[in-house]
Structure 1
Amino acid sequence: MMRDLDWAAAYDTIVFEGCDGAGKTTLATATAERTCATLIHSTLTPPGTDLPTAYSNLLDQPGRLVFDRCFLSELVYGPIYRGHARLSYQHMTTLVREVIERRGVFVHVTAPAAEIRRRLAARGESNLPSIDDLALICERYDDLFRAIETMTTVLHISTSHPDEDT
């Protein structure tokens, strides 16, 4: 895991995204503490929520912001679990630009599917996804971040440890 967080000082907005269990919360919490930023943990929003406006309002907050998950997860988890996303790629592009305008960066947090599954099991997740489902989620994040890299910088952080079995 990335222990040196000096890079974070260069940004006013940092968006940590990746599969559940990849290590986002750990990194986001440490980064927010290190940079004296407001930590925002995005949770599942109720049906009918105007997501583009809700995320835009979050990005309008003053000061340094660190997001532990944000709007990108809707584009990954929505199609997998609900059959559709409640955000379009056009909405995503607009929100990515808002992050960029805030001197922001996206951080893609990854780990091998087996490691993620082990972490989720260790924290007592009741609906433990299969390794194949986790691999699909990771693949969808990979695809999404490739698209975002055409617009801005994406940092990639792997939270797997070489001495751990996967």
Structure 2
Amino acid sequence: MNLPQALLSHRTLVIEGVDGIPRNGLIAQLAHHGFPVQHLPDRLHHVDPTRPYRELLATPGRMALDGSIIHELVYGPLHRGHSRVTWIQALDFAESVAERDGALIHLTASVSCLRPAPSDSTEAADAYARAMRTLAQHVAVVSLDAADLTHLPRPGTPAHRELGRNQQQLTVRW
């Protein structure tokens, strides 16, 4: 699945990836396609880190979350030696996203694309890959290379939908 397919088939998208990957173009595209983008504070709730996410996922309509508790699951061990989010909480979050017809957008990039390139970017990329493989058992995961973000259509460009004659796959072309 690619981003245009995700835009058509999901009403909840969670953007995740290593710190330093440029996201502004993707966020603009999501907003253009009717996804209000939510940015939650970096500080997690001190008692229940998943609470703000549960509250957001309980609201109706389309939405995109820029980052989530998966960031803590990856960076907590790298920065503090442990995560304040448990795997059970992360799996519960993934299932909540899936129940809301959602998907995780896993942004990837080569180290040269990161701005600025964090010193722990290789370890974080490996941790994100492991986390996404695990979470993909509970929610759809769309992997998207940051280099591909430059090929997204500009806002205002209409999408044309067509169904291939011999394929049971929806293709979207701009």
TM over 0.5: yes
Q: Does 1:136 align with 2:123?
A: yes
TM-fit CA distance, 1:16: 0.9
Please tell me the residue identity of whatever aligns with 1:16: I
1:150 alignment partner, one of 129, 132, 137: 137
Secondary structure, counterpart of 1:5 in structure 2: helix
Task: Tell me whether 1:108 sits opposite 2:106 in the alignment.
Answer: yes
Show structure 1 runs of 4+ deviating over 6 A: none
For residue 21 of structure 1, what is the amino acid of its counterpart? G
Equivalent residue of 1:51, what SS?
coil
With normalisation by structure 1, the TM-score equals 0.80
> Normalised by the size of structure 2, how large is the TM-score?
0.76
**Structure 1 148/6 Cα, relative in aligned 2: closer, same or farther at 3 Å?**
closer
Distance, in Å, in 2 between the alignment partners of 1:71 and 1:140 is 14
Number of aligned positions between the proteins: 147
Contact 1:17/1:24 (<8 A) preserved = no
User: What is the rounded CA distance, in whole Å, between the counterparts of 2:108 and 2:147 in structure 1?
Assistant: 8
Cα RMSD, aligned residues only: 2.0
1:99 to 77, 97, 100: 97
The percent identity for this pair of structures is 28
| Alpha-carbon distance in structure 1 between the residues aligned to 2:10 and 2:93 | 16
Relative distance call for 1:49 and 1:29 in structure 2 (3 A) is farther
Distance change (3 Å), C-alpha of 1:25 and 1:77: farther
Q: Which runs of 5+ in 1 are unaligned?
A: 121-127, 162-166
The whole-number CA distance in structure 2 between the counterparts of 1:10 and 1:111 is 24
Quote the residue 1:164 is aligned against. Answer: none
More helix by share: 1
How many angstroms apart in 2 are the aligned matches of 1:26 and 1:95?
26
Q: Larger deviation: 55-64 or 96-105?
A: 55-64
Structure 2's unaligned 5+ residue stretches are 149-174
* Bigger radius of gyration: 2
- Amino acid in the other structure paired with 1:15: V
Shift of 1:32: 2.4
Q: Which amino acid aligns with 1:111?
A: A
Pairwise CA distance, 1:49 = 4.6
